[in-house]
Amino acid sequence: MRLLGAVLAGGRSSRFGSDKAAAVLPDGRTLLEHAAAAIGAHVEAVVVCGRTVEGMTGLADRPVPDMGPLGGLNAALHHARAQGFDAVLTTGCDMPVYPAALADALIGESAAVLKGQQLAGFWPVSLADELDAHLAEKNSRSIFGWLERIGARIVEREDILLPNINRPEDLAKLALPHSR
């Protein structure tokens, strides 16, 4: 199975107070760079959705900017399908770790997300047209409505703990495993 990794990075970072994707960790790399490297271990290629980042493939939200995570996912699904990928594995720009157990739990025949971390997901490219239709309709464009619409699997794994970085103090408390 050919997998594309997508870092969803188009958010406003309102609770963080500044662009959290660009926040620099003690090792000199940004939070977004950590997220891309973490998901990159499980996929053939990685794109960044919702922004342009030097040295990375960036995708504009689809169909228009500021659609939230679903706009980034939609862009990734269409890009993946056009490039011959079978599915997209997603992460948020504020998720600097992506354990193998998480990828293994998500990857399957149908869409899946980690309970409590809905940006950590697995999405077959066959959902691209359905997401276009969903985003064209009048709805809240929430990820929860999309999950319900497609009957996504909700993966419950208490052994997979991911950092939740919403405020600068969350970043200050972050302890990452040693890099390769």
CA–CA dist 7, 43 (Å, integer): 12
CA–CA dist 176, 48 (Å, integer): 21
174 marked as part of a ligand binding site:
no
27 marked as part of a ligand binding site:
no
List, edge to edge, every strand of the sheet that includes 45-49. Answer: 57-59, 45-49, 3-8, 87-92, 117-124, 112-114, 153-155
66 marked as part of a ligand binding site:
yes
**Angle (nearest 5°) at CA 89 between 48 and 55:** 25
Binding residues for Mg(2+): 94
Binding residues for GTP: 8-10, 66, 94
Binding residues: 8-10, 66, 94
